[in-house]
Structure 1
Amino acid sequence: MNTLWTSHDLRAATGGRLDADVSVTGVSIDTRTIMPGDLFIALVGERDGHDHVADAFAKGAACALVHRADMRDPRCLLVGDTMTALVALACYARARFSGRVVAVTGSVGKTTTKDMLGVALSAYGPTHASVASYNNHWGVPLTLARLPEDAAYCISEIGMNHAGEIAPLATLVRPDVAVITTVGSSHIGNMGSIGAIAAEKASLFSALGPNGIAIIPDDAPCEDILAAAAAHVMLERAGTSDAATNRAINVSCDETGSTFVFADPDETLAVRLNEPGEHLVRNAVSALAVVHALGLDPHAAAAALAEWSPGAGRGLRRPILDGTAILLDESYNASVLSVRASLRTLALLPATRRIAVLGDMLEMGDFADEAHRSLASDLVASADLVFCCGTQMKALFDCLPDRVRAGYAPDSAALAPMVRATLAAGDCVLVKGSLGSRMARVVAALDTAKAAA
Structure 2
Amino acid sequence: MKPTLADLARRLNAPLSGADAGFSRVISDTRQLQPGDLFVALVGERFDGHDYLDEARQRGAVGALVSRAIDVALPQVLVGDTLAGLQDYARSWRGDYAHPVVAVTGSNGKTTTKQLLAAVLAARGPVLATEGNLNNHIGVPLTLARLRDDYATAVIEMGANHLHEIEALAAIAQPQIGIVTQAGDAHLEGFGSRDGVARGKGELFAAIARQPQGIAIINADDVYAPLWSALAGGAQQIRFGLSAAADVSADEIQSYAIDDGRNGMRFTLSLPNGEAEVSLPLPGRHNVLNALAAAAAGYALGLSADVIAAGLAQVQAPSGRVAWKRIAPNARLIDDSYNANPTSLAAGLQLLAALPGERWAVLGGMAELGATAESLHVEAGRSARALGLDRLYVTGAMSPHYAAGFGEGTRVFATHAELIAALRADIAACASPLTLLVKGSRSARMELVVHGVVQAPQDGVDGGVH
Q: Is the pair's TM-score, using the shorter chain for normalization, greater than 0.5?
A: yes
Deviation of 1:180 (Å): 0.7
Counterpart position of 1:215? 217
Task: For 1:299 and 1:259, locate their aligned partners in 2 and report how far apart those are by CA, in whole Å.
Answer: 14
Q: In structure 2, which of residues 359, 362, 366 is the aligned counterpart of residue 357 of structure 1?
A: 362
Map of 1:31 onto structure 2: 30
Is the Cα–Cα contact under 8 Å of residues 191 and 200 in structure 2 kept in the other structure? Answer: no
User: How many angstroms apart in 2 are the aligned matches of 1:414 and 1:67?
Assistant: 48
Structure-2 residue corresponding to 1:261: 268
Aligned partner of 1:334 in structure 2 is 340
Post-superposition Cα deviations, 1:38-75, rounded to whole Å, max 9, x if no partner, equal 11212122322222222222222222222221234243
Equivalents in 1 of 2:108, 2:399: separation in Å?
A: 20
The two structures, once aligned, show a CA RMSD in angstroms of: 2.0
TM-score (norm 1): 0.92
**Equivalent position to 2:9, from 4, 8, 11:** 11
In structure 2, the partner of 1:395 is 401
Q: Report the residue type matching 1:299 in the other structure.
A: D
Of residues 383, 389, 408, the one that matches 2:412 is 408
Cα distance between partner residues in 1 of 2:10 and 2:421: 55
**Match of 1:24, as an amino acid?**
F
Aligned to 2:462: none
The yes-or-no answer on 1:239 pairing with 2:238 is no
Give the structure-2-normalised TM-score. 0.90
Shift in Å, 1:86: 0.7
Equivalents in 1 of 2:236, 2:414: separation in Å?
Answer: 49
Counterpart in 2 of 1:92?
92
Task: Find the counterpart in structure 1 of residue 201 from structure 2.
Answer: 201
CA–CA separation in structure 2 for the residues paired with 1:148 and 1:79: 24
Amino acid paired to 1:370: S
Find the partner of 1:308 among 285, 307, 315. Answer: 315
Distance in structure 1 (CA, Å) of the matches to 2:150 and 2:144: 13
Residues 400 and 10 of structure 1, relative CA distance in 2, 3 Å threshold? same
Tell me the CA shift for residue 90 of structure 1: 0.6
Aligned pairs, number: 445
Q: Is the 8 A contact 2:126 2:153 kept in 1?
A: yes
1:297 maps to what in 2?
304
CA deviation string 1:130-154 (max 9, x = no partner)? 1111111111111111222331101
Q: Do residues 145 (structure 1) and 149 (structure 2) align? A: no
5 Å matches for 1:109-148?
109-148=109-148
Match of 1:343 among 335, 344, 349: 349
Query: Amino acid of the residue matched to residue 349 of structure 2?
Result: L
Distance 1:151 1:446, change over 3 A: same
Deviation at 1:30, TM superposition (A): 1.7
Deviation digits for residues 313-335 of structure 1, max 9, x if unmatched?
A: 111112235x6632211111101
CA contact (8 A) 1:346 1:382 kept: no
| Amino acid in structure 1 at the alignment position of 2:41 | A
Question: How many percent identity over aligned positions?
Answer: 38
Asked if structure 2 preserves the Cα contact closer than 8 Å seen for 1:104 and 1:114, the reply is yes
AA partner of residue 345 (structure 1): L
3-state DSSP class of the match of 1:383?
coil
Do the aligned residues in 2 keep the contact of 1:334 with 1:433 (CA within 8 Å)? yes
CA contact (8 A) 1:96 1:149 kept: no
In the other structure, the counterpart of 1:418 is 422
In structure 1, the partner of 2:463 is none
SS at match of 1:5: coil
Give the direction of change, closer, same or farther, for the CA distance of 1:423–1:163 in structure 2 (3 Å limit).
Answer: same
Q: 1:437 to 1:153 in 2, by over 3 A?
A: same
